[in-house]
């Protein structure tokens, strides 16, 4: 694992020592190389986990997330080149350093064995993200957004620290390799109910669960493009990954403790999808669609069946790529019109036809068109929740319909129709932007040929 | 002040604390406290204005009261145990009075009212000495009598201090008052763990002193005492803004910076001793502290605060020297991986 972590840490000296015209080239190239190394982790010989050392391991759940994380760093760097082009050199280097630091913490979070180390790195990812949102965001609301983001996550996760330490007292070790074998059922008592709550709330806030999602639209909208990409694609998945790991230790309380959260998620996904239909702000629409997709993941994790775990993992990877691509597309609009309002940049198919093709592909995967992996994820989740309780199919079906509605609404508003008269002087699409979209879409389409690598450890 | 006089006075302050920390006779400890108090009064009054006089008077009155209470506790201990050696205090009355006296010296709630007012009235360097060096002596006595302290009183004072330190700092724009409330909150954390594991009190004290030293050095560098004047730093010395950001986030207890280490260790010790609600409450109340630190970073490093063009000229005239800044910065932000080295503090 050090062969991935140390090069990522060394990206920081690379930025500071590069010449002025080479910083983007150097960092993008080397982060692409690092992502190629991480692809080798996907080769898991049997269903056991690959243990690299006492501190790092990778199993079929964390390997796809790790590959997604390392794949996204070059994409983030490519996406940020335009809006940073006018800044002084030191600030550009600081931005790239923040991204590299965040990347290091994320890689270590996904591969660490010890749960307290996971907690420390989980919290550590907050600091670079806060700095990226607050320092490089574009509107005054970013200050509020950063505060909401920081404090929602911290209030949720401080009880997690206490819970992890008390579990360590009870069982003697929090090393993940050991817990798999030592696992015993939690006795039934009030304090164990609070232990369950303390463990899960951190990840519920991070996912986010419907009632605690207030930080997400603010943070996503106010962040610069790399911030939005990493928030949507990876940081939300940290919550999902944490939940998948920690529910292993929390049986059998999950059987009855999960009901309120299941209800909130099932209702919340319909509510947030419906809100998407009424949004005027493009980034806000994509942010709410993230909440809706993640609510599906929460339902899947709380049901705890093998198929639902497969669906949750596939949905996380698929949503990561799709959501990040949608944010890149929205950013390409924003860089031209400096406004996030959807109707200000409509009818773009006439002006930028290749970008319209990417918009089409992104919207189609967002609404879970077969045979994309988004469909595989959603389908597994819908099937397993149907087997858990027949009635949920009504809500799930309604959600799929509304998701299709708002994805097509977004596509039609931005691409079809007559273009407005004030956008006929926008710059044509850069090769960099087309490359960015292609690099998002290609893994998504290729994975639909072999989805078993992202189906997680219950395959 | 005449450098020779200043040296003598600083030596007396130093000697007073050393006498407190090294003595085994209760009377010598009291003498050390009094020496410390009398010698620090001229330092608090370095700038000769009515505000400094008011601050020094308040400090003198509270500390003298505390010393008298300490003397009473010593005498009661003498009456009941017949000896002057410092060991655990066997009589509960004497122990309670001694705890209250030392809490008054440290600035724990409900004896915290003097801390913001005194810190505000004095210069930045004197405030530095007040909030770091002066805490060493009472804390060393608390460490030595820790087996006999009444747990209820100490924990109540600790939790109330964290609350007061968090809430009180919310409405402040004066940097010295912010540092004072931060000191109250940190003292609360330190005394909460005192009965369970005094080594962690010392660890927290060490990290707290390093972070407070760093903050004060950064404030002294730009001679800024209000949030507004600190917000001009991006014009004059942009690197200082990054350092202020890192140190403030470390004070707030965010991983992966070293300010997280004492909080994590304290939560671990408290949980091992089967108190679960208390560390959760303490951790959540520490978030109040984090809020006003983050607000300070917003006006300083994360935004470019509006300033007039005159401010851009100021960098040519500022030549305050800051001592030892690089090691302090490293100590206050990067020490988290060294947590297993705690055992050296035993």
Interval A260-281 mean pLDDT: 93
pLDDT digits (tens, 9 = 90+) for A368-392: 998 899 999 999 999 999 999 999 9
| pLDDT band, very low/low/confident/very high, at B47 (cuts 50, 70, 90) | confident
Q: How far is CA B323 from CA B222, B238, B326, B328, in A?
A: 14, 19, 9, 9
Instruction: Quote the pLDDT of residue A424.
Output: 80
pLDDT at A75 over 90: yes
Nearest-Å Rg of the Cα atoms of chain B is 20
Alpha carbon distance A289, A308 (integer Å): 20
The B residues from 223 to 252 touching A (CB cutoff 8 Å) are: 245, 249
Q: Which residues of B touch A162 (CB under 8 A)?
A: 267, 271, 276, 279-280, 283
Looking at chain B, list the stretches that DSSP marks H as alpha helix, in order from N- to C-terminal side.
3-22, 26-44, 50-81, 92-106, 114-121, 124-144, 151-168, 175-192, 198-222, 227-230, 233-236, 238-251, 260-272, 277-300, 325-333
Q: How far is CA B5 from CA B2, B8, B29, B46, in A?
A: 5, 5, 25, 12
- pTM for this entry: 0.92
Q: Which residues are CB-contacts of A266 (< 8 A; sequence separation ≥ 6)?
A: A295, A299, A392, A395, A396
Does the CA dihedral A410-A416-A421-A426 come out positive or negative? Answer: positive
Q: CB pairs below 8 Å between A and B: how many?
A: 72
Q: Which residues of B touch A105 (CB under 8 A)?
A: 256
B219 within 8 A of B175, measured Cβ to Cβ? yes
| pLDDT band, very low/low/confident/very high, at B312 (cuts 50, 70, 90) | low
Q: Which residues of A touch B279 (CB under 8 A)?
A: 162
In which domain, by residue range, is A166 found? 1-42+54-454
Inform me whether the C-beta atom of residue B268 falls under 8 Å from chain A C-beta atoms. yes
Instruction: Quote the pLDDT of residue B314.
Output: 64
Residue A242 domain-assigned (yes or no): yes
**Residue A139 distance to chain B (closest CA, Å):** 11
pLDDT digits (tens, 9 = 90+) for A424-446: 888 899 999 999 999 999 999 99
Residue A49 domain-assigned (yes or no): no
**Nearest C-alpha neighbor of B17 from the set B106, B126, B133:** B133
pLDDT digits (tens, 9 = 90+) for B172-191: 999 999 999 999 999 999 99
Instruction: Quote the pLDDT of residue A47.
Output: 64
pLDDT at B136 over 80: yes
Instruction: Quote the pLDDT of residue A41.
Output: 73
Q: Domain residues of chain B, as ranges?
A: 3-344
Nearest to B298 among A123, A134, A169 (CB): A134
Instruction: Quote the pLDDT of residue B163.
Output: 95
pLDDT at B305 over 70: yes
Inform me whether the C-beta atom of residue A197 falls under 8 Å from chain B C-beta atoms. no
Residue A459 domain-assigned (yes or no): no
- Count of structural domains within chain A: 1
Residue A289 domain-assigned (yes or no): yes
Q: Which residue of B has its CA nearest to A143?
A: B298
pLDDT digits (tens, 9 = 90+) for A33-63: 999 988 887 777 666 667 777 788 888 888 8
Does the CA dihedral A412-A418-A421-A427 come out positive or negative? Answer: positive
Mean pLDDT rounded to a whole number for chain B:
89
Instruction: Quote the pLDDT of residue B223.
Output: 81
Instruction: Quote the pLDDT of residue A159.
Output: 93
pLDDT digits (tens, 9 = 90+) for A107-154: 999 998 888 899 999 999 999 999 999 999 888 888 899 999 999 999
Contact A131 B260 (CB under 8 A): no
B336 within 8 A of B255, measured Cβ to Cβ? yes
Residue A119 domain-assigned (yes or no): yes
Q: Which residues of B touch A127 (CB under 8 A)?
A: 249, 254, 256-257
């Amino acid at each position: 694992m050090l062969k991935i972590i140390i090069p990522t840490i060394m990206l920081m000296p690379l930025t500071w020592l590069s010449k002025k015209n080479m910083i983007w080239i150097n960092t993008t190239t080397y982060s692409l190389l690092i992502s190629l190394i991480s692809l080798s982790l996907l080769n898991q010989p049997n269903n056991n986990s690959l243990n690299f050392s006492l501190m790092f391991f990778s199993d079929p759940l964390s390997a796809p997330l790790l590959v997604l994380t390392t794949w996204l760093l070059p994409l983030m760097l490519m996406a940020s080149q335009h809006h940073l082009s006018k800044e002084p050199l030191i600030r550009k280097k600081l931005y790239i350093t923040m991204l590299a630091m965040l990347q290091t913490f994320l890689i270590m979070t996904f591969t660490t064995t010890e749960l307290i180390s996971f907690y420390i790195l989980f919290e550590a990812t907050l600091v670079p993200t806060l700095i990226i949102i607050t320092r490089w965001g574009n509107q005054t609301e970013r200050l509020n957004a950063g505060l909401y983001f920081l404090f929602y996550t911290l209030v949720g996760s401080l009880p997690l620290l206490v819970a992890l330490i008390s579990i360590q007292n009870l069982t003697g070790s929090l090393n993940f390799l050991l817990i798999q074998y030592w696992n015993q059922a939690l006795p039934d008592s009030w304090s164990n109910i609070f232990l369950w709550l303390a463990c899960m709330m951190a990840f519920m806030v991070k996912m986010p669960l419907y009632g605690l999602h207030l930080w997400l639209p603010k943070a996503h909208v106010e962040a610069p493009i790399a911030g939005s990409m990493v928030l949507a694609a990876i940081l939300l998945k940290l919550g999902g990954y944490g939940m998948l790991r920690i529910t292993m230790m929390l049986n059998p309380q999950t059987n009855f403790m999960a009901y309120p959260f299941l209800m909130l998620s099932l209702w919340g996904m319909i509510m947030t999808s419906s809100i998407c239909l009424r949004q005027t702000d493009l980034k806000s629409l994509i942010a709410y669609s993230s909440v809706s997709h993640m609510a599906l993941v929460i339902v899947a994790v709380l049901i705890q069946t093998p198929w639902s775990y497969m669906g949750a993992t596939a949905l996380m990877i698929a949503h990561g790529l799709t959501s990040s691509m949608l944010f890149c597309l929205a950013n390409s609009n924003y860089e031209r019109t400096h406004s996030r309002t959807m109707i200000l940049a409509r009818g773009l198919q006439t002006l930028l036809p290749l970008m319209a093709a990417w918009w089409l592909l992104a919207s189609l995967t967002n609404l879970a068109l077969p045979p994309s992996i988004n469909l595989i994820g959603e389908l597994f989740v819908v099937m397993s929740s149907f087997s858990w309780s027949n009635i949920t199919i009504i809500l799930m079906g309604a959600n799929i319909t509304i998701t299709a509605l708002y994805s097509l609404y977004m596509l039609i508003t931005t691409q079809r129709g007559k273009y407005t008269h004030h956008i006929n002087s926008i710059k044509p699409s850069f090769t960099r932007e087309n490359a960015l979209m292609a690099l998002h879409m290609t893994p998504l389409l290729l994975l639909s040929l072999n989805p078993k690598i992202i189906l997680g450890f219950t395959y | 002040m005449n450098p020779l006089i200043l040296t003598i006075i600083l030596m007396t302050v130093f000697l007073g604390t050393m006498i407190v920390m090294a003595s085994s006779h209760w009377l010598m400890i009291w003498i050390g406290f009094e020496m410390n108090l009398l010698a620090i009064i001229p330092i608090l009054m370095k700038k000769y204005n009515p505000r400094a006089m008011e601050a020094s008077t308040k400090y003198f009155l509270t500390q003298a009261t505390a010393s008298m209470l300490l003397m009473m506790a010593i005498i009661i201990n003498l009456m009941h145990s017949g000896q002057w050696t410092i060991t655990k205090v066997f009589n509960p009355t004497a122990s309670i009075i001694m705890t209250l006296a030392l809490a008054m010296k440290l600035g724990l709630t409900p004896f915290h009212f003097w801390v913001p007012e005194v810190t505000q009235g004095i210069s930045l360097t004197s405030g530095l000495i007040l909030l770091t060096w002066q805490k060493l002596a009472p804390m060393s006595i608390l460490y030595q009598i820790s087996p006999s302290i009444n747990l209820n009183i100490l924990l109540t004072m600790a939790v109330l201090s964290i609350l007061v330190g968090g809430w009180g700092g919310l409405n402040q724009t004066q940097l010295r008052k912010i540092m004072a409330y931060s000191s109250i909150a940190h003292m609360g954390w330190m005394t909460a763990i005192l009965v369970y594991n005094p080594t962690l009190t010392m660890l927290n004290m060490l990290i707290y002193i390093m972070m407070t030293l760093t903050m004060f050095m950064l404030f002294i560098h730009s001679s800024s005492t209000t949030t507004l004047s600190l917000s001009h730093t991006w014009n004059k010395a942009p690197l200082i803004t990054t350092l202020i950001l890192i140190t403030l986030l470390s004070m707030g207890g965010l991983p992966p910076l070293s300010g997280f280490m004492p909080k994590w260790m304290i939560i671990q010790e408290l949980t091992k001793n089967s108190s679960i609600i208390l560390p959760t409450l303490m951790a959540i109340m520490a978030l109040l502290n984090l809020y006003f630190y983050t607000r300070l970073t917003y006006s300083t490093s994360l935004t470019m605060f509006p300033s007039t063009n005159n401010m851009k000229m100021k960098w040519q005239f500022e030549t305050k020297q800051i001592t030892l800044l690089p090691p302090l910065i490293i100590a206050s932000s990067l020490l988290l991986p060294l947590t297993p080295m705690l055992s050296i503090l035993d």
